[in-house]
Amino acid sequence: MILLSCSQGTRKSDNQSKQADSIKIKQDSVGSSEDSIEVVENELDTIVTTESGESFIKGFYEEYLSSIDNGTSDEVKLEFCTPELITKLSENDLSYDPFINAQDFDESLLETLDVKKSDAPQGYYVVSYVDGYSKKKVYIAMNIEQREGGYKISDVILSYDPEKN
């Protein structure tokens, strides 16, 4: 009876158990214990995020635009987008990039990037920037979901027009 009550008193929450399992797996798979602790701490930081949706989307654009230049944009999509969105985008034969709503971009895109939570469509964010070529404002609407590991982009509305919505 004493052993039973001791084990109930030290019971971990599901999240703590997952973290402990992650630590065990990482310690088994990485050579030194110092390295494994560092890796695990970095991964655990992403389990629960206090980051705002706006910050997440701006971070995505910073990573994504630099990845286009060095040919790693597919890796960034895997990190920031849901598998369902990646599949949906790969099934469409688009002649332009849905995240920039254009074929090309210039470096000034990040300087004029703005992200705001939208009321219509409900739960979406409206991303806008001034196109360096045409000098016109470009709009993209996207939805993000909170998933294990943080936010993920789950939908992109192509050719979004805030005047009509």
In order, the DSSP letters of 84-98 are HHHHHHHHS--SSBT
User: What average pLDDT does this structure show over 83-90?
Assistant: 94
- Please tell me the distance from the alpha carbon of residue 131 to that of residue 88, in angstroms, as a whole number: 26
pTM above 0.85, yes or no: no
- Please tell me the distance from the alpha carbon of residue 165 to that of residue 155, in angstroms, as a whole number: 16
pLDDT tens for 108-134 read 899 999 999 998 778 899 999 999 889
All structural domains of the chain with their residue ranges:
2-45, 53-157
pLDDT tens for 128-139 read 999 988 999 999
What class is the 53-157 domain?
A: alpha beta
Q: How many CB atoms lie within 10 A of CB 5?
A: 8
